[in-house]
Structure 1
Amino acid sequence: MPITPHAEMALRVESKVTQRGQTTIPTPVREALKLKPGEDRIAYEILPGGKVLISRQEEENEQDPVVSAFLVFLSHDMQQNPQHILPLSKALMDNVAELTAGMEVSLDDPLTEDDDE
């Protein structure tokens, strides 16, 4: 069964989990992710319903230690207190739409020096 309703499965492979909780990534998966043994890292995303996505971990140029610590805290809090995760209200979404009306933003554009201040 595909992970998402829109995903199309090209191939299904399996591997065994050892007594120590380890497994070998099957060759077709390594090839699909273009993994280089001893060099690359993989990332796991745990989805609702017990599904897990595996992907090649892209290298990050710089990690801000404050942002990293905050993201760890946020991740822990979300796991420990899922009841605190609430959808955005319509009023807040309307307020955001009003505040940003007419603004054009491209997330692909590089930041200028003025944006860093």
Structure 2
Amino acid sequence: MAKTGEILEIPATITERGQTTVPAAIRKMLALGKRDQVVFRGLANGTVVIAKKQSLSDEGDPVIGKFLEFLARDMADQPARIRPVPKSLLKRGKALTKGIEVDLSAALPDDEA
């Protein structure tokens, strides 16, 4: 099994029908079972990512999911654009939330119209 940060590279052959077998090590890494589905995500730089397809109940908010996919693509395509959060912004955020207590395990209140 590949270590964190290490890339696991396993060759596979494409058949005349355009099919291939997902190697056992990759199936194990993605926790794929029989009849599970995968998704292929092609990036502009020619990289293709394979991931286990999540069921609708696991996908959560589709807007947030699309936004997170956009961010992941943008970071992969343009890593030089990633910048640290300015200290001034962190300081401002701390000042705005000073004295506010939050229970992260508490249920969120219902939105009111």
- Taking structure 1 as the reference length, the TM-score comes to 0.50
Q: CA deviation at 1:57?
A: 7.2
The answer to whether the 8 Å contact 2:12/2:23 transfers is no
Q: How many residues align?
A: 96
| Root mean square deviation of aligned Cα | 4.2
Q: CA deviation at 1:94?
A: 1.2
- Taking structure 2 as the reference length, the TM-score comes to 0.52
Alpha-carbon distance in 2 for matches of 1:17, 1:92: 46
Structure 2 segments unaligned to the other structure (5+ residues): 15-19, 40-50
The answer to whether the 8 Å contact 1:41/1:57 transfers is yes
Alignment map for 1:1-117 (pairs within 5 Å): 2-3=3-4, 17-20=11-14, 22-26=21-25, 29=28, 36-39=33-36, 61=57, 63-114=60-111
Bigger RCO (CA 8 Å, 6+ sep)? 2
Which residue in the other structure is 1:45 paired with?
A: none
Alpha-carbon distance in 1 for matches of 2:76, 2:99: 37
Q: CA deviation at 1:64?
A: 2.9
Which runs of structure 1 show a deviation greater than 6 angstroms over 4 or more consecutive aligned residues?
55-58
User: 2:92 is paired with a residue of what secondary structure?
Assistant: helix
Amino acid at match of 1:87: P
The answer to whether the 8 Å contact 1:41/1:56 transfers is yes
Amino acid at match of 1:3: T
Structure 1 segments unaligned to the other structure (5+ residues): 5-13, 43-54
Aligned residues: percent identity?
27
| Cα displacement string for residues 12-63 of structure 1 (whole angstroms, at most 9, x for unaligned residues) | xx9953223644325xx47xx5x54324769xxxxxxxxxxxx987756253
